A and B are shown apart, each in its own frame.
Chain A
Amino acid sequence: MNISYKRASAIFVKDYKEFSRNYALSIMLLFPILFAVLFKSAGASLPGAAGFLFNSSFVLLTCFAQACLIAEEKERNTLRTLMLTPATTMDVLMGKSSLVFVMSTVVLAISTLLFGYEPANIGVFVAAIVLSIVLYTAAGTICGLYSKTLLDASLSIIPVAFIFMGAPWGAVLAKDYPVFGVLDYMPSSQLVHLLNLSPAGYSAGEVWPPLLIIAAWTAVLTLVSVVLYQKRLRDE
């Protein structure tokens, strides 16, 4: 598989310009920051606020932006045109994903600071967030590939939001309804466990299983998105 740094960065710059001029989309950058400020003023003791802040940002920003970037190229036929230049499918995917990654990182860093969340272990926190951004970018790629237009892409985000953002809440029901125990294996639920580590002390057993589950999700979704991407962009 061939990726060229030059070509991927050309796509990155192009997408950055398009994104920054697409106000309907770039306004999404403000949501995590807005949430952070709101939750902060509601009192940091608000249970589950940190988890909700991060999980909703991943869906509404990371996943949504990636889905829109891909769907719009499909809608306007530019993706097909791009595939006739030396740009490879991986150049395009890498260029877009890095833009979404950079935007998500910056916005989440700002909202973490504004919200005043202090992780128990900064290394674990960063690893979990980075893995999650990659994971939701992949989910966004898959949504974008199944959408023909920007509108489709916006709609396709709804099930993702429902499943991923709702999982941590649903998992609470597991006590009464064991079926819901499955939801605890969603990456969003596992992220909540990691965010709730006690600064006073935690065991390795509290860190590694959640991190590994998130990493497994990331690996699987990334693989699926790349394979689907290659497949769906071949002939008509």
Chain B
Amino acid sequence: MAVIQVEQVRKTFGARDALTEVSFSIPKGEIFGFLGPSGAGKTTLIKILTAQLKPTGGVAKVFDQPAEAMQQSAQKMRFGILTDNSGLYERLSIEENLELYRKLYDLPRSAVEQVLQFVNLSSERKKKTNTLSKGMRQRVMLACAIIHEPELLFLDEPTSALDPVNSAHIYKGLRYLNEKGTTIFITTHDMAEAELLCNRVAILYQGRIQTIGSPRELKRQHRENLIRVELTSGEAYELPVDGDTADRIADWMKRGLIERVETKEPSLGDIFIKMTGSELL
């Protein structure tokens, strides 16, 4: 069953197209990465899927219902969201902020403790939110988004302010949630993160999805059919994959001249740049 289904969705702001024509679907249990340069329309699509914006055209369905249904409390229980402009109550402590969410989702008291551990903030729980660092705020906002272990989780650049240790901690947590059945829709500018975390990624550019697939598939598709050989002498060759190359490599190998052989595989970042013609932002 598809948790998210988007068909020819279009969104214009005034005369400008933010999304021209976007179609894809996300099955239950997937971690889906939505990539694209700044201004590509990633946040706009999340807003459409969570009923904060109406699409100009096309159909967006979540849980097999039109996205507008996401305004109902019963549907809101089923998803969690972390946006790039989520707000926290500044005069409340971390714990008090989470306590509000716990009550709104009607959860047992233990939920706050659990989620504090999840985001690695148990020992800072009494701190007022207005004294937190950017990365800590981001983790608190993430905690608010997942406290109810939603079926579907929207994460809009969840790790943009995190250090590698905390990112790794969050990835582990997200995988754990995912194993328990949470479908995750994530946008990020971090290609390594997308590659590490996502079952499938889509690259959005100029209002359309330019390519979609698992990171491995994409890399295979965009692989240039070359083998890179480095010799002990320091010389390096990029050779086509064919019989001649096989003979040359066999010859070098017999003579013990080979330092390294590798297929020339593009990284997700290379594919991103190729698709969008732009640098990573």
Contacts and interface: CB of A to CB of B under 8 A. Distances in A.
Interface of A: 2, 4, 6-7, 9-11, 13-14, 17-18, 21-22, 73, 76-82, 84-88, 235-236
30 contacts: A10-B103, A10-B104, A11-B100, A14-B89, A17-B92, A17-B96, A18-B92, A76-B88, A76-B90, A77-B85, A78-B87, A78-B88, A78-B89, A79-B87, A80-B52, A80-B85, A81-B83, A82-B104, A84-B50, A84-B76, A84-B81, A85-B76, A85-B101, A86-B73, A86-B105, A87-B73, A87-B104, A88-B73, A235-B54, A236-B53
Interface of B: 50, 52-54, 73-74, 76-77, 81, 83, 85-92, 96, 100-101, 103-106, 144
B91 A17 contact: yes
Contacts of B54: 235
Contact of B100 (A10, A22, A77, A236): A10
Contacts of B87: 73, 76-81
A12 to B, nearest CB: 10
A81 B100 CA distance: 12
A92 B90 CA distance: 18
A87 B50 CA distance: 14
Nearest to B147: A85
B61 to A, nearest CB: 18
A69 B227 CA distance: 64
Nearest to B88: A78
Nearest to B75: A86
Contact of B103 (A6, A79, A235): A6
B193 to A, nearest CB: 23
A106 to B, nearest CB: 21
A87 B88 CA distance: 15
Contacts of A80: 52, 85, 87
Contacts of B92: 14, 17-18
A22 B128 CA distance: 13
Contacts of B52: 80, 84, 235-236
Given A13-B103, A21-B91, A78-B88, 18 more contacts: A6-B106, A7-B103, A14-B89, A17-B92, A22-B91, A73-B87, A76-B89, A77-B85, A79-B87, A80-B85, A80-B87, A81-B87, A84-B52, A84-B81, A86-B74, A86-B76, A86-B105, A87-B104
